[in-house]
Amino acid sequence: MALDNLRAFLDAIDARGGLVRVERPVSLDKEMTEIADRCMKSPGGGPALLFRHPTLPSGGAARHPVAVNLFGSERRMALALGVERLDDVGERLAALLNVKVPDSLLGKLAMLPQLAEIAKYPPKTIGGQPPCQETVIRERDVDLSQLPVPVCWPEDGGPYITLPGVITRDPRTGVRNVGMYRIQVIGKSELAMHWQRHKVGAAHWRDMAERGERMPVAIALGGDPTSIYAASAPLPPTIDEFLFAGFLRREPVRLAKAVTSDLEVPAEAELVLEGYIDPREELVLEGPFGDHTGFYSLADYYPKVHVTAVTMRQDPVWPHTIVGRPPMEDYWLGHATERIFLPLLKITLPEIVDLHMPAEGIFHNLVFVSIDKQYPGQAYKVMNGLWGQGLMSLAKVIVVLDKDVNVRDPKEAWWVALNHIDPERDVRFSMGPIDVLDHSSRGFTFGSKMGIDATRKWKEEGFTREWPSRIVMDLETKRRVDEMWKELGIEL
Ligand SMILES: Cc1cc2nc3c(=O)[nH]c(=O)nc-3n(C[C@H](O)[C@H](O)[C@H](O)COP(=O)(O)O)c2cc1C
């Protein structure tokens, strides 16, 4: 049975012993971050936390509890998606997409809505009063300072909504997008929307601005866990994340009409902030914000959202995450994407054996990839192929290794790579788009990339010396030592 909402997810985590309810009052002003950070840095990602009595930065008690780190372990991420192993999802998706045309990954993904298995679970709009609209606060009565929105880090520009599903619609095709973009609270009913230029919400906004039309936006907090995850997944613009979530949970996502716009919102959400962006209005300063790079992203200009309604359950739980120096909860959301999308990458780059983005590489800084090398130059084919696929285009450093290297273990990957390279021969630089959060590139979102061919070199690649083998003890000696181990008096 799929989990229908955030509270069902919390119960499921609790039933497995993974939830800590914090009864002591804790301030939304940084204290929650310090507590959650210590948990997220502990082995395995730490427990999920439900802060039952948060206090507002202004000092009073907040009305609603705050949940943090729900997705923050491999086990909870799999629980959210209703699978035993995250790789199961990718394999299910790849089996569906193993079709002959079109050839590119994005092209194949774009076909998703036409596939029967996917079309079985389209989102369903329900009538009557949905749970997310049990309470409705409109227009002048909206006061965002009453919501439990945390201030994460000392130099942050203000309180931040960090785990939302931002719902917009493509004005040309009508296709919905749901994206996870952080949002700063900048006034009683005003927000700053940090969608980066490579993201789908930002593309919708540029289209609306060109038309000079007001853009409706809905911000969902909570809902079923697959929908929350789907908002963070790099799906092509032609795919509605609620359709993808339906595929993941094997049940449709239930939607309801928003009360102040013609968008649909998840019926099972805890809260929804409805509003609009007026593209004729000046952009507003957003940030700084302690980001998932482990550094502050600098303040910059982003669109302002006017909130026209806050709708909620009678007893909503506010979902929150913190980002900062890795590893953090977002590593697990990104890790799910890595495992789900790997089989899809293999459809177009079949020599790929495995791929891993270690936490310290914050996704876009470092990609290890192992390949079944069959011909000279194949490592370069793979790095160029990856730089041509969706958000993989933002990868700053790609290290290609042979198939016998376990790239899921960064220590092993670096050990082999550093042994195998002649830097001048094996390192190549290229140019391309760079992640908005990169503070080092020569231009904003534009800069260089490094590809490292750490595979064994072939004669045809100009390497004429002998390539040594790895040191591995023979099995017979290992067996003899196993047998004598207890007699040695060595405790390890
Ligand atoms: C916790 C978290 C916070 C994120 N914050 C942002 C953000 O502020 N801006 C942004 O553009 N992407 C952010 N992302 C990444 C996007 O969610 C991700 O790129 C997603 O694919 C965007 O959806 P889209 O492809 O529909 O635009 C965040 C991801 C996570 C997990």
Q: pLDDT per position in the chain (492 positions), as tens?
A: 899 999 999 999 999 999 999 999 999 999 999 999 999 999 999 999 999 999 998 889 999 999 999 999 999 999 999 999 999 998 888 888 775 555 676 776 777 776 777 778 999 999 999 999 999 999 999 999 999 999 999 999 999 999 999 999 999 999 999 999 999 999 999 999 999 999 999 999 999 999 999 999 999 999 999 999 999 999 989 899 999 999 999 999 999 999 999 999 999 999 999 999 999 999 999 999 999 999 999 999 999 999 999 999 999 999 999 999 999 999 999 999 999 999 989 988 999 999 999 999 999 999 999 999 999 999 999 999 999 998 999 999 999 999 999 999 999 999 999 999 999 999 999 999 999 999 999 999 999 999 999 999 999 999 999 999 999 999 999 999 999 999 999 999
Q: Name residue 309's beta-bridge partners.
A: 138, 274
Of 308, 243, 244, give the one whose Cα is nearest residue 276: 308
Binding-site residues, ligand 1, Cβ < 6 A: 162, 177, 179-182, 194-196, 199-201, 232-234, 321, 323, 330, 333
Count of domains observed in the chain = 2
Ligand 1 atom 5 nearest Cα: 181
CATH number at residue 380: 3.40.1670.10
Tokens 């793979």 found at:
382
Of 259, 227, 228, 261, residue with least CA distance to 244? 227
Nearest to 241 by CA among 256, 224, 260, 259: 224
- Residue tagged 């590139």 (tokens): 441
Q: Clarify whether residues 156 and 286 are in a common domain.
A: yes
User: 275-305 as b/e, with b when 16 or more CB fall inside 10 Å?
Assistant: bbbbbeeeebebbbbbbbbeebbeebebbbb
Q: Dig out the tokens for 41 from the structure.
A: 């840095």
Distance 32 CA to ligand 1 centre (A): 22
Distance from Cα 162 to the centre of ligand 1, integer Å: 10
Q: Return the residue whose CA atom lies nearest to atom 13 of ligand 1.
A: 181
Which residue among 29, 37, 240, 291 is the active-site one? 291
Domain containing 264 — which CATH number?
2.30.110.10
User: 93 Cβ partners below 8 Å, 6+ apart?
Assistant: 247, 340, 343, 344
Residue 303's pLDDT is what?
A: 98
Is there a domain that residue 267 lies in? yes
Nearest CA, atom 18, ligand 1: 232
Q: Which residues pair with 331 in a beta bridge?
A: none
Instruction: For residues 370 and 286, state if they share a domain.
Output: no
CB 171 within 8 A of CB 204: yes
| Same-domain status, 360 and 234 | no
Listed in sequence order, the DSSP H helices in 134-269 are 200-211, 225-230, 241-249
Per the domain annotation, does 451 fall within a domain?
Answer: yes
Helices (H), ranges, 270-395? 329-348, 378-387
Query: What pLDDT does 11 receive?
Result: 98
In the annotation, is 409 catalytic? no
pLDDT at 368: 98
Q: Please check whether residue 395 lies inside any domain of the structure.
A: yes
Helices 86-97 + 74-81 axis angle, to 10: 40
Residues in the chain: 492
Q: Which of 300, 320, 340 is the last residue of a domain?
A: 320
Question: Exposure string (b/e) for 34-65, b if CB count within 10 Å is 16 or more?
Answer: ebbbebbeeeebbbbbbbeebbbbeeeebebb
Measured between alpha carbons, how far is 146 from 32 in angstroms, rounded to an integer? 17
The answer to whether residue 224 sits within a structural domain is yes
Are 284 and 388 members of one domain? no
Same domain flag for 123 and 218: yes
Amino acid found at 284: V
Atom of ligand 1 nearest to the CA of 329: 1
Please give the distance, rounded to the nearest whole angstrom, from the Cα atom of residue 30 to the centre of ligand 1.
22
Would 410 be classed as within a structural domain?
Answer: yes
Q: Which residue has the tokens 């959650």?
A: 36
Say if residue 171 is in the same domain as residue 113.
Answer: yes
Gap from CA of 133 to ligand 1 centroid (Å): 26
Verify that 222 and 263 share a domain, yes or no.
yes
Q: Are residues 241 and 118 in the same domain?
A: yes
Scanning 198-304, the segments in alpha helix (DSSP H) are 200-211, 225-230, 241-249
Distances (CA, A) of 400 to 331, 360, 382, 452: 22, 18, 8, 6
The whole-angstrom separation of Cα 8 and Cα 21 is 15
Write the DSSP symbol of residue 460: G
Residue closest to 214 by CA, chosen among 280, 258, 262, 153: 280
- Report pLDDT for 57: 87
Q: Are residues 266 and 305 in the same domain?
A: yes
pLDDT recorded at residue 114: 67
Q: Which two tokens stand for residue 318?
A: 């506010």
Q: Is 290 helix (H, G, I), strand (E, B) or coil?
A: strand
Residue 92 falls inside a structural domain: yes
Q: Which amino acid is at 104?
A: S
Tell me, yes or no, whether 169 lies in a domain: yes
CA of 180 to the centre of ligand 1 (A): 4
Q: 106: domain range?
A: 86-320
pTM summary value: 0.94
Residue closest via CA to ligand 1's atom 4 equals 181
Pull the structure tokens for residue 411. Answer: 């220590």
Residue 328 placed within a domain: no
| Ligand 1, atom nearest to 391 Cα | 19
303 and 390 within one domain: no
Q: Which of 320, 340, 372 is the last residue of a domain?
A: 320
Q: Which of 161, 170, 182 best tests ligand 1's pocket when mutated (most atoms within 8 Å of CB)?
A: 182
CA-closest residue to ligand 1 atom 20: 232
203 and 118 co-located in one domain = yes
> In angstroms, what is the span from residue 198 Cα to ligand 1's centroid?
10
Element spanning 31, H or E: helix 31-40
* Residues 175, 224 within the same domain: yes
- The residue to mutate among 184, 232, 389, having the most atoms of ligand 1 within 8 angstroms of its beta carbon, is 232
Taking the centre of ligand 1 as the mean of its atom positions, its distance from the CA of residue 383, in whole angstroms, is 24
In a mutational test of the pocket of ligand 1, which residue from 199, 286, 292, 300 has the highest number of ligand atoms less than 8 Å from its CB? 199
